[in-house]
Amino acid sequence: MIVDNARIAAELLRPLFVDAGGEKLVVLHLDVERRMIGLDEGPVDNEDSVLFPMRAIIGAALALDARGLVIAHNHPSGDPRPSRADIRATRRLAETAGALDIRLHDHLIFAGADCRSFRELGLL
């Protein structure tokens, strides 16, 4: 499957957040042609924020020889707007991955039936 826009990524990832019970992080690994080559699901966190384990994300991407990433997490609060912490962590991940020739294509936030794309919001 080629994941070349937020709609396709959202359709693929949305089922992973249904009834999550807390915040959860998912990382989609893509090859140079944006075909899915891997998927990592983090544990559900009952806190109000999700951790972005940079070393684990980058390590998995390198192990898969990924050339692109789409990350996604959910906001059980129902508010799909990115928090300041979401924006900071996403920019840090994009810079770190970019230095290793891995592009962060998007970061999606799911909240109920709604989904927001950092790319579409101009945040990436």
Spans of all domains in the chain: 6-117
The pLDDT of residue 48 is 55
pLDDT digits (tens, 9 = 90+) for 67-109: 999 999 999 889 999 999 999 999 999 999 999 999 999 999 9
Task: Tell me the two tokens of residue 17.
Answer: 């957040």
7 within 8 A of 36, measured Cβ to Cβ: no
Q: Quick one: average pLDDT of 35-50?
A: 78
How do beta strands 103-111 and 68-74 pair?
parallel
pLDDT tier, 45 (very low <50, low <70, confident <90, very high otherwise): low
pTM listed for this prediction: 0.93
The pLDDT score that the predictor gives to residue 52 is 79
Nearest CA among 34, 24, 22 for reference residue 103? 34
The CATH code of domain 6-117 reads 3.40.140.10
